[in-house]
Amino acid sequence: MIISQVNVSDFGIDVNTINPIINSFVKKNIFKKVRGENPASITPFNLHTFNNKAISKILDLVLNLTPRIAISNAVDRYINDNEYENILNHTLKTKRWNPKGFHLAECWGVVYNGQQGLTSHHHFPFSLSFSYYSKSDEKSSPLNICGQEILAKEGYLTIFSAHLDHEVRPEDNMSDERIALVGNLEYHGFTLD
C-alpha cells in the first residue's frame, strides 16, 4: 500500500509563487459539484491539458517522484540513492519494469468551502493517485485513506495507491477554503515510450 507525502519546497518549487496561480486557475475552471451531502466543487478532469505552468511544475514533480515511491513500496522500505540507481539499472537492463512507464491520465482541481467534502471512493483502475494542497490551513479536513488521516498541509503532495478508499469528511473541514490539485497515473510499461 503506497501512501507517501512530501513538501514540494524540498524539490525547489516556490509555493509562494505557484500556489496563488493554481488557486486562481482552479477556481476559474470549476464546473460542477461532486456527489454526496455538502459536496465540494471540481474542475474538468483534463486540467493537465490546459498548459498552466504552475500546475505543470507539480505534475512534473509527481512524474519524477513516482518511480522511487513505487520501488520503495515494492520493497516495503525507504531506499537510498545507491539502491535506487541499482534497481533502476537492473530493471531497465532486464526490461522487467520501466520507471518511465507511468503516465498522467487525469488531473483536476477540487475546492472545499466550509463543511464540504467527498464521500469515500477509490480511483481503480488507475495505478496511483495524488493530491497537492495549494490552499489549506490547520482547520482543513485531512485526507482519510483507509482510516489513516493524512494532513492537508499547504505545499505538500500526497501520492497513494489508486485502489485505496479515501474521503474528505465534511464535518472535519472547518477551513473557509481548501484547494487541492488531484490526479491519476496509469502504468504502461514499455509500450508508450
State pLDDT tens for residues 9-31: 999 999 999 999 999 999 999 99
Residue type, 100: K
Q: How far apart are CA 27 and CA 155, in angstroms?
A: 17
Q: Residue 193 — very low, low, confident or very high, per pLDDT cuts 50/70/90?
A: very low
In contact, 157 and 132? CB cutoff 8 Å: yes
Q: How far apart are CA 39 and CA 46, in angstroms?
A: 20
Q: What is the number of helices (H) and of strands (E) in the chain?
A: 3, 11
Q: Which distant-in-sequence residues (6+ apart) come within 8 Å of 85 by Cβ? A: none
- Does the pTM exceed 0.75? yes
Q: How far apart are CA 51 and CA 73, in angstroms?
A: 31
CB atoms inside a 10 Å sphere around CB 96:
10
Looking at residue 187, the DSSP 8-state letter turns out to be E
Torsion, Cα of 155, 122, 166, 134 (10° steps) = 20
Q: What is the mean pLDDT of residues 123-141?
A: 95
Task: Evaluate if residue 74 carries a pLDDT over 80.
Answer: no
Class of domain 3-67+101-187: mainly beta
Task: Evaluate if residue 103 carries a pLDDT over 90.
Answer: yes
Q: What is the mean pLDDT of residues 32-45?
A: 87
| Max avg pLDDT among 7-11, 91-95, 123-127, 168-172 | 7-11
Report the DSSP beta bridge partners of residue 187: 102
Q: Which distant-in-sequence residues (6+ apart) come within 8 Å of 77 by Cβ? A: none
What cell does 2 get?
503506497
Determine the 3-state secondary structure of 72 from DSSP: helix
Query: Per-domain residue ranges for the chain?
Result: 3-67+101-187
Task: Evaluate if residue 111 carries a pLDDT over 90.
Answer: yes
Q: What is the DSSP string of 139-173?
A: TSPPEEETTEEE---TTEEEEEETTS-EEE-GGG-
Task: Evaluate if residue 191 carries a pLDDT over 70.
Answer: no
